[in-house]
Chain A
C-alpha cells in the first residue's frame, strides 16, 4: 500500500530564507505524488504534482519539488519565503482510487 511520511510537524523560517519541507513515500508501483497547501479555514490548493514525466517539478508561487527514487523522497522547496507562505502543507501519494495524505507540516514565517 502507498503511504507518505512528512518529517516535522512544524517548520519555522525567516522571511527571505529557503523553505524545505520533507516528504518520503512508500509505494509498490511508480508513484504519483502531490503537494497541497491549505490556508486557515480554506480548502486544499494543489501546488504541484509528479507523474513520472520529469524529476524536478515546478509549481505555483515559486515552489518546486524533486523526485528522488533512490531516497524515496519528494521534498518541497522554495528559494525565498514570504509571509504569505505561512500555511499547512500536505504531501500525498496516489493510492487505489484515492489520495493518501501525510500528516501535514505547518510552515511558520517570521519577519
Chain B
C-alpha cells in the first residue's frame, strides 16, 4: 500500500528555518512527481511546491519562491521541504502528496508554528 508520512514540524521563531521530511513507502518516490500542500489556520488549502518524477524539475508558488526548497533523497525514498525566512503567515499544517497514475496519495501532515 502506498503511504506518505511527514515529520519535522515544530515551533520556530520568525526568521528561522526548518526542514520537513516526507517518507514514502509502498512505491519508489523518485519515479513520481511529488508536492507539498499547506493549510493555515482558518484558511483554505494551498499548493506550495512540487518536484517532477525523474528529472527533478522543481516548481514553487509565488508565496514561497526564494524561501522554500523542495528536494528528494532517492536512497532514503524521502521527500524534503526546507523552509527558511519563516514568517507568522507560514504557520500551517504541511502535507506531502503524490499522484500515481490517477490515484492520489496524501500524508497526514505535520504542524509548523511560527511564533516568538
Chain A partners chain B = no
